[in-house]
């Protein structure tokens, strides 16, 4: 009996994949056109997955994007960043390619106050990380756009500030607590302590009232606590700051 001979199965072929030559690695912090983040996977030179730090979706979900190696640069290296190089320190003006980064030096100056610019490769630059100020300790007296108060807690990304009773007072004499970014909080000084701000109770030549806001020309917008118009409306006054004094 004759039969067809079965075709021998071909051995599986394994292809060795060369490691990426772009110099990036999983877990490395990088900058890309969409912001700063960290690499979480790399399937090829043109498909690198980056989890962004500056984007957030609903329920705290993070945003990931796929970019090519040519679109990545070391963490913090972008237009406007302060960098150091062999010629001194400067600011990045333009990033045409990895081998052509335009930097304006701050440590050099030509005739007539002209600035020096140079073109350097990314590997020749080091990002200068600004110093992070120490967090304010609980109890520190601060100024905010809502009035004065004291720091109750310094959290990872913001401060919990309890306002003074002279600024705001809730029902049952409760003092409001605000959650403010560091940029919204300034340490109280002797000069600023005398400046009435929004929500404060003040005295004016027309009686007491509450500061609503401060206009661009420095005038205070004050709602009277003494006078009353038709339909129980309180009049608002626009007064020079020198006519308004804080009720202690």
What does the pLDDT read at residue 25? Answer: 80
Q: In this structure, what token pair is assigned to residue 243?
A: 């006519």
Provide the whole-model pTM: 0.35
Contact 93, 120 (CB under 8 A): no
SS3 192: helix
Q: Is 232 left (phi over 0), alpha (psi -120 to 50) or beta?
A: left
What integer pLDDT is reported at residue 22 of this predicted model?
A: 59
d(CA 209, CA 245): 10
Number of Cβ within 10 Å of residue 240's Cβ equals: 10
pLDDT tens track for 167-218: 676 777 677 888 888 878 888 776 555 566 666 778 888 888 888 777 767 7
Q: What is the chain's pLDDT, residue by residue, as a tens digit (248 residues)?
A: 555 555 555 544 444 444 445 567 888 778 888 888 888 888 876 788 888 877 777 766 778 888 888 788 777 777 888 888 888 888 888 877 767 888 888 877 777 778 888 888 877 887 776 665 678 888 788 888 788 888 888 887 788 888 876 667 677 767 788 888 887 888 877 655 556 666 677 888 888 888 877 776 778 888 888 788 888 888 888 888 788 887 75
Model pLDDT, residue 62: 79
């Amino acid at each position: 009996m004759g039969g067809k001979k079965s075709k021998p199965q071909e051995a599986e072929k394994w292809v060795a994949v060369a490691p990426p030559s772009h110099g990036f690695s999983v877990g490395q912090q990088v900058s890309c056109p969409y912001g700063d983040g960290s690499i979480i996977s790399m399937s090829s030179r043109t498909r690198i997955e980056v989890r962004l730090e500056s984007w957030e979706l609903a329920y705290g979900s993070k945003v990931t994007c796929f970019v090519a190696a040519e679109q990545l640069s070391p963490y913090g290296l972008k237009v406007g960043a302060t960098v150091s190089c062999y010629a001194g320190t400067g600011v990045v003006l333009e990033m045409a390619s990895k081998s052509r980064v335009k930097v304006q030096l701050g440590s050099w100056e030509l005739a007539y106050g002209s600035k020096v610019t140079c073109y350097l490769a990314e590997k020749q630059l080091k990002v200068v990380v600004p110093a992070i100020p120490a967090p304010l300790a609980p109890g520190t007296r601060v100024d905010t756009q809502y009035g004065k108060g004291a720091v109750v807690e310094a959290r990872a990304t913001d401060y919990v500030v309890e306002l003074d009773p002279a600024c705001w007072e809730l029902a049952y004499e409760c003092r409001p607590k605000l959650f403010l970014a560091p940029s919204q909080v300034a340490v109280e000084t002797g000069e600023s302590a005398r400046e009435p701000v929004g929500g404060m109770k003040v005295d004016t030549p027309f009686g007491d009232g509450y500061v609503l806001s401060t206009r661009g020309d420095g005038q205070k917008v004050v709602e009277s606590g003494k006078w009353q118009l038709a339909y129980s409306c309180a009049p608002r006054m626009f007064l020079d700051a020198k006519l308004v004094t804080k009720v202690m």
